[in-house]
Structure 1
Amino acid sequence: MTEKSFTLDGNVQHFTIADVAKENSGFRKVLWTGEHAQIVVMTVPVGGEIGDEVHPQTDQILTFISGTGHADLNGQTHPIEAGDQCAVPAGARHNFRNTGDEPLVLYTVYSPPEHAAGGVFATKEDADAAEAAGEDTPARG
């Protein structure tokens, strides 16, 4: 299958998002970054997790394409599966864990952007190292 993404005009993009997300073999890939929002695909391996975090000034909407897991949202745990969507308001503590037997595939929209434009990380460890080094921060205008 070929990744279905193309530029229409300037920074305007078209995605067949479920296909793009399923084809992502790495942990995190930033697909598009605008001034006020960002689209990212993620693949969480079996037994893996996104990591417990809080985005103080960023809302996040996650849509799950395949796999199963648990969403930890402000101290409450909820099962998640393909077709589910979670809205995480700025300031909410959250984590998403793969508790199934296949990769947990999702796409997420951050508003405003949370990661550096064009960032691609094969593993959570690579992503965490880039964040710790200050190499995965969005440009703020």
Structure 2
Amino acid sequence: MAVFNKDIVELTEKNDFFQKEVYRDSKIQIVLMNLPAGEEIGMETHNADQSTFFVSGEGQAEVDGAKTKVGPNHLIVIPKGAEHNITAKGSGALKLYSIYAPPAEPAGVAFKTKAEAEAAEEGFVSRAAKKLKEAVGR
């Protein structure tokens, strides 16, 4: 297997996707994010530990109800199962990357906008509900 050796800060700064996977193996996943001013990820939880490093911009992180300011060179750790949200609070984009252990986002995730990510998630939930209904015979 090739070694993943990239300038993660440069990759994050250049990223203009809402969410984009740059590395994944069976144990970890690295995802870049770009939140335009005023945008938020939306409250969520994962079945993985998440470490998020902020490269540029100003924002707020909320983890299990505790809110904290975030900005360049800040790192937050979000434990598995913790309800969390990240919001861009400054006048520019909030650029960050997250490392999930084990992987938490769909393989190959790459969404230009939050709307694309939400539509994909709704589609996934709809397909899962359909399969469940078929399995129980309804």
With the shorter chain as reference, the TM-score category is 0.7 to 0.9
Letter in 2 for 1:95: N
Q: Which residue of 2 aligns with 1:19?
A: 10
Q: Deviations over 1:20-53 (max 9, x none)?
A: 0011011010001110110010000000011101
Once the two structures are TM-superposed, the CA of residue 13 in structure 1 deviates from its matched residue by: 1.6
Contact 1:32 1:117 in 2 (8 A): no
Matched, 1:101 2:91: yes
Q: Which residue of 1 aligns with 2:130?
A: none
Contact 1:71 1:79 in 2 (8 A): yes
Once the two structures are TM-superposed, the CA of residue 11 in structure 1 deviates from its matched residue by: 4.8
1:30 to 5, 9, 21: 21
What is the count of residue pairs matched by the alignment? 125
Q: Which has the larger radius of gyration?
A: 2
Matched, 1:127 2:127: no
Q: Which residue of 1 aligns with 2:104?
A: 114
Q: Which residue of 1 aligns with 2:136?
A: none
Cα–Cα, structure 1 residues 11 and 34, in superposed 2: closer, same or farther, change >3 Å? Answer: farther
Q: Deviations over 1:33-89 (max 9, x none)?
A: 11011001000000001110111x211000000000111111111011100000000
CA RMSD between the two structures:
1.3
Letter in 2 for 1:103: A
Letter in 2 for 1:60: Q
Q: Distance in 1 between matches of 2:93 and 2:35?
A: 6
**Structure with greater proportional helix content:** 2
- Identity of paired residues, percent? 36
Q: TM-score, normalized by length of structure 1?
A: 0.84
Once the two structures are TM-superposed, the CA of residue 115 in structure 1 deviates from its matched residue by: 1.7
Residue ranges of structure 2 left out of the alignment (5+ in a row)? 126-138
Q: Distance in 2 between matches of 1:109 and 1:99?
A: 22
Q: Which residue of 1 aligns with 2:39?
A: 48
Q: TM-score, normalized by length of structure 2?
A: 0.86
Residue ranges of structure 1 left out of the alignment (5+ in a row)? 1-9, 136-141
**Structure with greater proportional strand content:** 1
